[in-house]
Structure 1
Amino acid sequence: MSRRVGSDDRAGDAARMFDGERLTLARHLAGLRKNGLADAIGKTPTAVAAYENGSKRPAAATVAQLCLALGVDPEFFVAGLPRYASTQGAPHFRSLRSTTQVVRDQAYSLGQIAVSVAAAVERHVEFPEVDVPHAVVDHDAADETIGDAARALRQSWGMDEGALPHIVRLVENHGVLVVFGAAQTSSVDAYSFNNAHRPVMVLNPLKDDYYRQRFDVAHELGHLVMHSDSEPGGRVVEEQAHRFAAELLMPEDQIRPMLPSRADWRALGHLKEAWGVSMQALLYRARQLGVMTDTTYRNAMTTVSARGWRRREPGPTPMLEQPSLLPKAIELLIGEGLHSRAIAAEARAPIGLFQLVTSRTPTSVTPDLPVDDVRTAPSSGSLLALVND
């Protein structure tokens, strides 16, 4: 984030138009509790709470202190930004027990920044329309109901037969925003949420595994399809998303005849390459469908553990599938004459975070963007259609 606070006039303008929810967002991005921010600016936690809930407005000097403490410009706090990032239901984190609320808030705030960036970009670039069907799945839904939801999605998206292609590109082409998260929040794993603008998936930047990432995307897609009104993080909800992902990536009627009833590693290796799923996922699917007995499955997993395959299975690992909707849009706008920094300013996104959410690859750092973009604005009314190839 930029650490340079602007003039007194900028801080004064921000104080007059101060939006407390933007302060909450900035605090979450910084990974701070209210008392931590209060200590940083020499105020009380009660004062910080008052700024955030709108019952008190900070003075210009306090806005300047907030900018220094949180690494944002004064304009970050100005009211008026469309509330695209408001959720329709809570974000779906994998485990609520293994991560702190501070880390979850920090991770989710990055997703909100991604939504703001996408909303700014879409004033100039036409993204694919949102096409994610919703299925009613009860808490005690049978496997068949969950399988029906996955099969319906395949049919709706014209993917009835065979392995799914580039799954990140597939979901992007149906209106889902996909970005990599920040390394410091990687403990929350991949997560997703719906909002008033479009569905969002945030992928784990440290999970350098093509097969696991594909399963993560299918899992989060299950949440978006089935769990818009469900309480996140529960065992049943997560298991349903796992079953959805398994059926989506390995449809029962197609994969069952191919699955071995024993740990045939050669056959499993071929299936892994053909279907874009790990051998461990294939073993679990074989047991789930009754092709492999529980005893055979447990023995196979013992072998997997003994050979160190839980972390890295044998054979070449393809490169991670990369998000390209936002990165390609930025490239198009630069080609039309719009500076990247102007887009970040329009979205009120700190430049480092703007670069992170518009990157094709995961990154553990957020350096400033190079100042090599075209400086002029795009022609009036320019609207570029964008669909991934």
Structure 2
Amino acid sequence: MSPRTSSIDRAAEVAAFFDGARLTLGRQLAGLRKSDLAALVDKSPTAVAAWESGAKRPTAATVAQLALSLSVDPGFFAVRPEDVAALSTAPHFRSLRSTSQLVRDQAYAYGKLAVDIATSLERQVEFPDSDVPSFPVHVDVRDGDGPERAAQLVRKEWGFDFGPAGHLVRLMENHGVLVVFSPSQTASVDAYSFSSRLRPVVVLNPIKRDYYRQRFDIAHELGHLVMHGDAEPGGRIVEDQAHRFAAEFLMPADQIRELIPATMGGNAWRTLARLKEQWGVSLQALLYRARWLGRLSNVSYRNAMSTISTRGWRRNEPGLINAIEQPSLLPRAVELLEQEGIDEAQLIEQCRVPPALFRTATGRTPDSELPATSSTDVLRPGGRLVSLLERRQKAMEKAADEV
């Protein structure tokens, strides 16, 4: 059977189980408006809107055209066990004014696709359960210590009351958060996050290669997941609260206040450099924290930031660590399944997603500079990746022992 015949046959199969939400997802992934897609398939925008809403269903021939126009397999449009879009909250983007709605939709569509991939892989691999604490913080006031108490709660429940937070991406994955890098076409969007009843998600910017700033980004997005499940994204108060959460999460006031210099004379910069490496935060974050906690006066803070600018450190601070933190959950899942004879092509076929986006989400693109780590490094005891085949084998062994 030729590839063209195979595609047409699949389109005919999919037409009967066509899901309009999948068409919306595919269109947004491609960065297209309804009118753009309508022009590509020589139909009206009204027709595209009707297919997406479920009011009408496209013919098999049109499904094939849609798949070709969006560079997806026809099977992409088939109904799934779960509707990721319906189960997800609005994403928290840093600035709603710096990027267009079209670009934000494209970025959010990729995040939902990552959940789709993870859900598909979970049919054969057991991931850690999600246990992100919920601590809603009202966003109609600036006062109060809600963000700080939320950060303290997470540190306590996640078992590290004292000291610096370790590998943040690993920590998030250990607690069931899906962390992925966005594809290059959405690199203009900074890190963002959204909650899903399937799995909470944090999407990191692939261009930002600063270890220290990336960690603050991750903590900031964790703050949104913890505090802002029902909050309207993008507001100044919401973003300020996420920043305060991140600062307390990474630099707890009661632990770092007395360590930060009270003046910028003497060995202050050397002390800050040492704290930067110990706590995994930028010099600028430490200076801002020092002012927030009352250790530095406004004048001293402004003078220190002026020095930062003069030395060219606004965007390129000196630091010992060059490699950013890398996600491991999905890459390890793919690696584990390959060890059991299920190759990448089979997984892509199972997920029915564009191969390039599958490789980006699972960290198997050239952008992944670090080698894969072992499963014992990836997840904590009791939460490691376990294939369903391995689980079945252990169950059989246990049953045999009991006999």
TM-score over 0.5 (shorter chain): yes
1:101 to 1:362, Cα distance in 2 relative to 1, 3 A: farther
Secondary structure of the residue that 1:188 maps to in structure 2? coil
Q: Could you tell me which residue of structure 1 aligns to residue 65 of structure 2?
A: 65
Deviation per CA, 1:180-226: give whole Å up to 9, x if none. Answer: 00122122200111112110000001001000110000000000000
Secondary structure in 1 aligned to 2:79?
coil
The equivalent residue for 2:238 is: 237
Quote the residue 2:206 is aligned against: 205
Q: Does 1:314 align with 2:321?
A: no
**Partner SS for 1:159:** coil
Partners of 2:20 and 2:52 within 8 A in 1: yes
Quote how far apart the aligned CAs of 1:296 are: 0.8
- Post-superposition offset of 1:381: 5.3
Change in 2 beyond 3 A, CA 1:5/1:89: farther
- Amino acid in the other structure paired with 1:284: Y
Residue of structure 2 in register with 1:175 after alignment? 176
Give the Cα separation in 1 of the matches to 2:169 and 2:25. 27
Deviation of 1:314 after TM superposition, in Å, equals 1.9
- The answer to whether the Cα contact below 8 Å between 1:5 and 1:64 also exists between their aligned partners in 2 is no
Match for residue 160 of structure 2? 159
Counterpart in the other structure of 1:21: 21
- 1:227 positional shift: 0.3
Alignment of structure 1 residues 41-60 onto 2, 5 Å: 41-60=41-60
Q: Give me the whole-angstrom Cα distance separating, in 2, the residues matched to 1:20 and 1:88.
A: 17
Q: How much does 1:115 deviate? A: 0.5
Question: Does the 8 Å CA contact 2:128/2:176 hold for their aligned counterparts?
Answer: yes
Shift in alpha-carbon separation, 1:25–1:345, aligned structure 2, 3 A: same
User: What letter corresponds to residue 182 of structure 1 in structure 2?
Assistant: P
Cα distance change, pair 68–241 in 1 and its aligned pair in 2 (3 A):
same
Range with bigger deviation, 120-129 or 353-362: 353-362
* CA contact 2:76–2:352 (8 Å) conserved in 1: yes
Q: Report the alpha carbon displacement of residue 345 of structure 1 after superposing the two structures with TM.
A: 2.1
After superposition, residues 219-298 of structure 1 pair within 5 angstroms as: 219-263=220-264, 264-298=268-302
Within 1, Cα distance between the matches of 2:357 and 2:365?
Answer: 14
User: Once the 2 structures are TM-superposed, how far is the Cα of residue 315 of structure 1 from its aligned partner?
Assistant: 3.3
Q: Is the 8 A contact 1:183 1:363 kept in 2?
A: no
- For residue 306 of structure 1, report the CA deviation from its aligned partner: 1.5
Q: Which amino acid aligns with 2:153?
A: A
Q: How does 1:80-99 map to 2 (within 5 A)?
A: 80-99=80-99
User: So what's the TM-score if we normalise by structure 1?
Assistant: 0.91
Runs of 5+ in structure 2 lacking a partner?
369-386, 393-403
* 4+ residue segments displaced more than 4 Å: none
CA distance in 2, matches of 1:59, 1:235: 46
Contact preservation (8 Å) 2:11, 2:60: yes
Q: Once the 2 structures are TM-superposed, how far is the Cα of residue 307 of structure 1 from its aligned partner?
A: 1.3
Residue in 1 that maps onto 2:338:
334
Checking the alignment, whether the CA contact within 8 Å between 2:38 and 2:45 is kept in structure 1 is yes
Q: Secondary structure at the match of 1:80?
A: coil
Which whole-Å deviations, capped at 9, do the CAs of 1:117-175 have from their partners, x for residues lacking one? Answer: 11111111111111111012111253522211101110111111111010100010011
TM-score (norm 2): 0.88
Whether 1:214 and 2:218 are equivalent positions in the alignment is no
Mapped partners of 2:365, 2:208: distance in 1: 12
1:79-117: per-residue Cα shift (whole Å, max 9, x none)?
234224534421111111111111011101111111011
SS in 2 for 1:317: coil
Q: Is the 8 A contact 2:195 2:201 kept in 1?
A: yes
Query: Is the Cα contact below 8 Å between 2:7 and 2:74 reproduced in 1?
Result: no
CA contact (8 A) 2:85 2:112 kept: yes
Give the CA RMSD over aligned residues. 1.9
Match of 2:193 in 1: 192
The match for 1:372 is: none
What fraction of aligned residue pairs are identical, expressed as a percent? 59
Letter of the structure 2 residue corresponding to residue 123 of structure 1: R
CA contact (8 A) 1:111 1:202 kept: yes
What letter corresponds to residue 16 of structure 1 in structure 2? A
**Gapped regions of structure 1 (runs ≥ 5):** 365-379
Q: Deviations over 1:220-275 (max 9, x none)?
A: 00000000010000000000000000000000000000001233211110110110
The 8 Å contact of residues 21 and 53 in structure 1, kept in 2 or not, is answered as yes
| 1:233–1:5 CA distance, 2 compared to 1 (3 A) | farther
Q: Which residue of 1 aligns with 2:121?
A: 121
Distance 1:40 1:119 in 2: 31
> SS of the residue aligned with 2:120?
helix
